[in-house]
Structure 1
Amino acid sequence: MSEVRLKPEHLIGDEATLRGLFPATHDLAIKKCLDHLDEHASSFVSRAPFLCIGTQAGPAQADVSPRGDPAGFVKVLNTKTLLIPDRPGNNRLDTLANILANPTVGLLFMVPGFDETLRVNGTAQITQDPDILNMMSVQGRVPRVAIVVSVNEVFLHCAKAFRRASLWDPEARQNRKEMPSLMKMILDQSTGAPENPAEMAELEAGLETDYKASMY
């Protein structure tokens, strides 16, 4: 890939300059922002099997992490509070550690077949309260901790991005086999993948076995 050198005279360094490049915000885009979860937002959350959570520990450490479960896995405790279970993962704990350093979070809820999304901004805490965790048990397994989000801002996001991406369009689906397996790519990026196809296949099968054993 060729190197791109950014020209300082074309860099945007302040908000006034940035906003001068765009038309004024539509009045409805401002009015649609709520400070709580109304009936429509709560219904959207109850339908969503997937969300992305954005966190930040400092100026040089930001992260976006996916969270997924059967629809309704995020609990609407009340109009100002959401509960998100923390399921088993790779134990990097990026999201949780960031929340301890900086409680500000941004959530993006997605529903398969919906081109619209729901955005929720607020602050988060981490709890190990058994009364809360037992509410989110799946297959008899209780999460170690849960993320409690205090809601500050809620708004529905229009369909343009998903329609441009044709995200739910079956005709836009790509063939997963056109890229190597996750195990192969990670090994290439770290210790090096084995050249023996049988050994590689065994490692890939092991990952699938781990998925089945450690989802909850």
Structure 2
Amino acid sequence: MATIRAVDELEQTVGNRSLPVMMKSIPRLDPHCVALLAHAPVAALGYVANGGRMRAGLVGGAAGFAAPETPSRLRLPVPADAVPGTGASLLVLVPGWRETLRVNGTVDREGLAVEEAFLHCGKAVIRSGLWASGDLAGDGEAGTVGVEEEGPAVGPAAAAFLAAASFAVIASRDGAGLADASPKGDPPGLVRLVGPTTVAIADRPGNRRTDTFHNVLDDPEVALVVVVPGDERTVELRGTATISTDPALRESMAERRSTPKVVLLVEVSHARLAHNPALREARLWDACGHVDPAELPKPAVIWRDHLAQGEAERDQAAEDAMEAGLELDYQQNLY
């Protein structure tokens, strides 16, 4: 099976990371981020657990559970097995809203030291129909009954759950240990079981940052948290990933006559299907609790302002470098 093993192969296949896309990232929480966090009752958290394992799960339960203390500090509930001082990443969900907020940084016992924040486009959420199932749990009963399952392979209950799942978040980390959590969305069957311990996820259009793929080339260990709209359970998958360009596999995962350029294959070492307290408390599938987009900053405004901040950061860095170079020149080349 054809596999991508180097950055140049990756970029020849899926394209380069463009500067404007990367400049939409800012190194702190701005007022837009603060406003989104105030409306968010749940987020996917990717983190490093005891033993160096990558993990992913949903945390939260009530709007504002992740509270900004400063522009570079976010207080939130941290899993007991998270290793302080390691990279972690949040994918923040606002019920009823298409876009998602991604916040990356370093975790400790009480929260996250923020190093990067940016708005992710809504394509994954739209494809998944994540909020279209808002009437499924309005009575508080849907999703409360269901089996749980855990083991080194994908068992029958987890396989049935994956067949119905349309939304997932992939947690990965680069060679320096910096973490990322990226959303994926498709019609049901997003995470396709292609073997007893192997799943496949097609790459679809999105932010065009390709963070997950670059990270996998550095460190193949990943974790996924998988969601079925209307169900209060999640599946967590842990394992190692490769990037496949196999033509037959890609063609088999075509959607609306569009064939993915690459497919992420994950060799699963641990699978866990369980009820999720954050989903139960957040009542994400209750349409009455969905946020009116008019209460939120407009995505175009957020991207415009973040891009302007990125340009300012770049201009300031260039100015600082020029100033430092001038000072060095004065010191070394005065005569």
- TM-score range (shorter-chain normalised) is 0.7 to 0.9
- 8 Å Cα contact 1:73/1:136 also seen in 2: no
Select which of 183, 205, 211 maps to 1:88.
205
Match of 1:39 in 2: 156
- 1:168 paired with 2:288, answer no
Greater displacement, 159-168 / 142-151: 159-168
1:52-201 to 2 correspondences below 5 Å? 52-191=169-308
Q: Higher strand share goes to which structure?
A: 2
* Cα separation, partners in 2 of 1:105 and 1:186, compared to 1, 3 Å: same
1:4-19 to 2 correspondences below 5 Å? none
- 8 Å Cα contact 2:221/2:239 also seen in 1: yes
SS at 1:88's partner residue? Answer: coil
Aligned equivalents of 1:86 and 1:63: distance in 2? 16
Aligned equivalents of 2:149 and 2:186: distance in 1? 28
Per-residue deviation, 1:133:
0.3
Greater displacement, 125-134 / 51-60: 51-60
The amino acid across from 2:224 in the alignment is L
Runs of 4+ in structure 1 off by over 6 angstroms are none
Per-residue deviation, 1:33:
2.9
Match of 1:20 in 2: none
Task: Identify the structure with bigger relative contact order (alpha carbons < 8 Å, sequence gap 6+).
Answer: 2
SS at 1:148's partner residue? Answer: strand
- 8 Å Cα contact 2:169/2:181 also seen in 1: yes
TM-score (norm 1): 0.73
Aligned equivalents of 2:286 and 2:252: distance in 1? 35
The amino acid across from 2:268 in the alignment is V
* Cα separation, partners in 2 of 1:94 and 1:117, compared to 1, 3 Å: same
Aligned equivalents of 2:209 and 2:69: distance in 1? 33
- 8 Å Cα contact 1:112/1:168 also seen in 2: yes
SS at 2:255's partner residue? Answer: coil
Unaligned runs of 5+ in 1: 6-11, 16-30, 193-216
- 8 Å Cα contact 1:53/1:64 also seen in 2: yes
Per-residue deviation, 1:180:
2.1
- 8 Å Cα contact 1:49/1:68 also seen in 2: yes
Question: CA-to-partner distance for each residue in 1:79-114, whole Å, 9 max, x for gaps?
Answer: 100011001222211010001100001011101110
Aligned equivalents of 2:253 and 2:222: distance in 1? 21
* Cα separation, partners in 2 of 1:158 and 1:59, compared to 1, 3 Å: farther
* Cα separation, partners in 2 of 1:67 and 1:37, compared to 1, 3 Å: same
The amino acid across from 2:171 in the alignment is G
- 8 Å Cα contact 2:149/2:158 also seen in 1: no
Per-residue deviation, 1:171:
2.2
Per-residue deviation, 1:188:
1.3
The amino acid across from 1:148 in the alignment is L
Per-residue deviation, 1:166:
1.6
* Cα separation, partners in 2 of 1:178 and 1:76, compared to 1, 3 Å: same
Per-residue deviation, 1:59:
4.5
SS at 1:58's partner residue? Answer: coil
Note the aligned Cα RMSD (angstroms): 2.4
Q: How many residues align?
A: 170
Per-residue deviation, 1:60:
4.2
Question: CA-to-partner distance for each residue in 1:119-175, whole Å, 9 max, x for gaps?
Answer: 110000001010110110112111000000001000113231111212112222111
Unaligned runs of 5+ in 2: 1-67, 74-79, 84-147, 310-335
TM-score (norm 2): 0.48
SS at 2:151's partner residue? Answer: coil
Q: Higher helix share goes to which structure?
A: 1
Aligned equivalents of 2:165 and 2:149: distance in 1? 20
The amino acid across from 2:155 in the alignment is D
